[in-house]
Amino acid sequence: MLEIKGLTAGIDGKPILHGIDLVVPDGEVHAIMGPNGSGKSTLSYVLAGRDGYAVTGGTATFDGHDLLAMAPEQRAVAGVFLAFQYPVELPGVGNANFLRTALNALRRARGEAELDAMQFLKLARAEAKRLSMPEDMLKRNVNVGFSGGEKKRNEVLQMAILRPRLAILDETDSGLDIDALRIVADGVNALRGPTTSALVITHYQRLLDHIVPDRVHVLAGGRIIRSGGPELAHELEAGGYAAVVADAA
Amino acid sequence: MSALAHPRGAGPAWLREGAEAFLSRYAGLRARLPGDALRREAGAAAFRAHGLPGVRDEAWHYTSLRAFAETRFAEPLTPVADCGALMARLPAIAAPRLVFVDGRFRDDLSVVPGQVAVRVGGPAYGALARPEGEPLVALNTMLAEDGATIEVAAGAAGGTLLLASLGTGGPAERPAAFHPRHAVRLAAGASLTLIEVAIGNGAYLHNPVLEISLGAGARLEHLRLQDESHAAFHLSTLYADIAEAATYDSFALVLGGRLSRLDVHARLGGPRATAHLNAAQVLGGSQHGDFTTVVRHDAASCASRQTVKNVLTGRAHGVFQGKIEVARDAQKTDGYQMSQALLLSPDAEINCKPQLEIFADDVKCSHGATVGELDAEQIFYLRSRGIGESTARAMLVRAFLAEALDPISDDAGRAALEAAVEDWWRRQAA
């Protein structure tokens, strides 16, 4: 599904990614772990198409299509979803209106019929309920006045409604209490299937107790320095990043 | 003194000539103009003395009247019969309506209300306007032909009333000018929702003056839609005198006009009076829109609130001047003023001038201003969810305006303003 080869990228002329090689096959969940400043968020933004990040080399394809050549909305239409580390507040934009506009944009691009307000609300309420989210979150402005945990849950709600084929979760676990963590994990696990994949970017192993990854990659200094099975996350938790980074050097 | 005497002031020739043209029109018309001749003559004397303001006048520093002063207008003498297309553009609000066409009351197009006393036929000169201080009020006083006096009795609920101005546009070489003069008086404890709409076709000058008196505990919700023709000049002045515990809650939406200025003078005259002077200007092309307010706190424990938003595209120019005056005895004043501007093109321009004049010592007054483009991070967030860039930008501009419109408590009025904004979007897209 996702194939990254020799990807180098930076911001403001400062190189951050120094050659990423990563393949996420259909149906697999991969975790990317790494210390602060290793390039985790840069990788997620480059994959989602945020302005300001310059790709200086390498390729990233999604189902064989050049992901880096697509506009951000085209990537979303193709099935890529980024759960933001810091979800953006949109004062004056109602959450339900935002979600419906997004869902209908995707449906339109895929040649599917758009949902009217009633059909959409029915769907959104059911998803909100499944994620144990209060229904009034749909009525409020997008992320405005939300707590940190509510913002993260709202990302998962968007993901549940938009049903991406590749979900990239950028430190979605940061700032979550254990109950919220479980809700987020349940949301991701509900999406798992033979044709959907996830890239879970995290600093800590604890999210991976709930979303068990097929592969774990360690990102340090803009490179993947080690890959392994789920046991690698436990090793990192026990020994810290320093030992792994030192081994690889 | 001759009506053609030169106005004082050392302004440029076009300014003097513009004023002289109005004075000469007055000389020809004054025998026929209805109403209080003394008031009218006092207005003419003030206009003669001060002429039209130039950019050297502090209050007009950001708004040049040159294009206006260089246009030769004519006060229309014959009523226009067919206004069907313009009438169809009025908001569909199930309420009584007073319709003025080119500044004259049209009985045949109006639905006179039951709960509200209305008098028409000649200018409704009130006691609040100060022609000696405001050149365009002097011009209005001098040339006013018609207007409505709207009164709600003590304790009565006046419901909703629509006050509409239709400009039919004269010949391009000699556009129509009209100067309606209205008065609104709410006795103690009375209430009214007044929805004022100005629309039109072609070139014309609409120079209305509205004097509002609110008795103790009265409440006026005043929604204003300035959606004039883009060839029109809209220069309006409003005075509001707000007594003890009364509320003047106003919102002005400015979409139209080639050159527009809304001047608002609100005086909080009794304790615990409240004034909300909110506005949004949405302008494109080479439109110029100026929203200028003076709020005078003359009594203790009054609150004034102003949130003014500008959305400017093309080469549009927005102005917000907000002055808060706090008299020595107006302790516990609570004054708030916020200007927020969204510039959607590199050639759009906003001027914002807050002014505080505070003579009391126990007051809370604050003001702030933001100017910016759309937030890149917000645009990316929307796009990352599959929403195309132009839709994302439109959503964020709507959201910026929704924050201004959402607090309007009158549902029908808010819906009318929202519909006008949507209409503006459609015209922009076309």
The Cα–Cα gap between B123 and B133 comes to 19
Residue B19: in which H helix or E strand, if any? helix B13-29
Last residue of a domain, one of B241, B268, B295: B268
pLDDT band at B2 (very low <50, low <70, confident <90, very high): very low
Residue B105's pLDDT is what?
95
> Are B146 and B20 part of one and the same domain?
yes
Last residue of a domain, one of B207, B239, B268: B268
A126 to chain B, minimum CA–CA distance in Å? 20
Q: Is residue B214 part of a domain?
A: yes
The Cα–Cα gap between B90 and B101 comes to 13
Q: Which chain A positions have a beta carbon within 8 Å of B378's beta carbon?
A: 88, 90
> Are B246 and B379 part of one and the same domain?
no
> Are B73 and B207 part of one and the same domain?
yes
The Cα–Cα gap between B240 and B212 comes to 5
B342 to chain A, minimum CA–CA distance in Å? 14
Q: Which chain A positions have a beta carbon within 8 Å of B391's beta carbon?
A: 101, 105
Q: Is residue B314 part of a domain?
A: no
A106 to chain B, minimum CA–CA distance in Å? 6
Q: Residue A105: which of B386, B398, B403 has the nearest Cβ?
A: B386
pLDDT band at A135 (very low <50, low <70, confident <90, very high): confident
The Cα–Cα gap between B192 and B162 comes to 11
Last residue of a domain, one of B268, B298, B332: B268
Domains identified in chain A and CATH numbers: 2-88+163-248 (3.40.50.300)
Locate A211 and state its tokens.
């979303």
Which residue range(s) make up the domain with B415? 374-430
Q: Which of B297, B343, B346, B354 is nearest to B321 (CA)?
A: B354
> Are B248 and B378 part of one and the same domain?
no
8 Å CB contact between A36 and A222? no
The Cα–Cα gap between A118 and A115 comes to 8
**Structural domain total, chain B:** 2
Q: Which chain A positions have a beta carbon within 8 Å of B382's beta carbon?
A: 90, 98, 102
Mean pLDDT of A146-159: 91
Q: Give the burial class of B340: count Cβ atoms within 10 A of its Cβ; 0-12 exposed, 13-18 middle, 19 or more buried.
A: buried
Residue B6's pLDDT is what?
44
> Are B248 and B384 part of one and the same domain?
no
The Cα–Cα gap between B92 and B221 comes to 18
Q: Is residue B326 part of a domain?
A: no
Contact state of A102 with B386 under an 8 Å Cβ cutoff: yes
Task: Say which DSSP state A135 is in.
Answer: G
Q: Is residue B2 part of a domain?
A: no
| Inter-helix orientation angle A117-130/A95-109, to 10° | 110
B414 to chain A, minimum CA–CA distance in Å? 15
Phi and psi dihedrals of A185, rounded to 5? Answer: -65, -40
Angle in degrees, CA B292, B296, B298, rounded to 5: 175
Give the pLDDT confidence of B396-409 residue by residue, as tens digits: 999 999 888 988 99
Residues of B near A (Cβ–Cβ under 8 Å) read 376-378, 380-389, 391, 395-396, 398-403, 406
Q: Could you tell me the strand order of the sheet in which A223-228 lies?
A: A80-83, A166-170, A197-202, A29-33, A215-220, A223-228
pLDDT band at A24 (very low <50, low <70, confident <90, very high): very high
Considering only residues B11 and A69, tell me which one the structure prediction assigns the higher pLDDT: A69
Radius of gyration of chain B (CA): 21
Residue A160's pLDDT is what?
93
8 Å CB contact between A174 and A85? yes
> Are B53 and B184 part of one and the same domain?
yes
Q: Which chain A positions have a beta carbon within 8 Å of B388's beta carbon?
A: 73, 105
Mean pLDDT of B96-108: 95
The Cα–Cα gap between B89 and B104 comes to 18
pLDDT at B14 over 90: yes
Residue A249's pLDDT is what?
63
- Kindly give the residue spans of alpha helices, DSSP state H, lying in chain A: 40-48, 72-78, 95-109, 117-130, 148-162, 178-191, 231-248
> CB under 8 Å to B401, separation ≥6 — which residues?
A92, B280, B282, B309, B311, B421
Cα distance between the two ends of chain A: 30
Residue B135: in which H helix or E strand, if any? helix B135-143
| Inter-helix orientation angle A148-162/A95-109, to 10° | 30
Phi and psi dihedrals of A121, rounded to 5? Answer: -60, -35
Contact state of A91 with B380 under an 8 Å Cβ cutoff: no
> Are B88 and B226 part of one and the same domain?
yes
Closest residue, chain B, to A93 (C-alpha): B399
Q: Is residue B348 part of a domain?
A: no
The Cα–Cα gap between B50 and B206 comes to 20
CB atoms near residue B391 (< 10 Å) = 16
Give the pLDDT confidence of B174-207 residue by residue, as tens digits: 899 999 999 999 999 999 999 999 999 999 999 9
Is the minimum CB–CB distance between A75 and chain B shorter than 8 Å?
yes
CA–centroid distance for A149 within its chain: 16
Q: Which of A170-174, B29-33, B182-186 has the highest mean pLDDT?
A: B182-186
Q: Which chain A positions have a beta carbon within 8 Å of B397's beta carbon?
A: none
A163 to chain B, minimum CA–CA distance in Å? 11
Return the HEC string of A45-95.
HHHHCCCCEEEEEEEEEECCEEHHHCCHHHHHHHCEEEECCCCCCEEEEEH
Residue B327's pLDDT is what?
97
pLDDT at B272 over 80: yes
The ipTM value here is 0.96
Mean pLDDT of B263-275: 98
Q: Which chain B positions have a beta carbon within 8 Å of A92's beta carbon?
A: 396, 398-403, 406
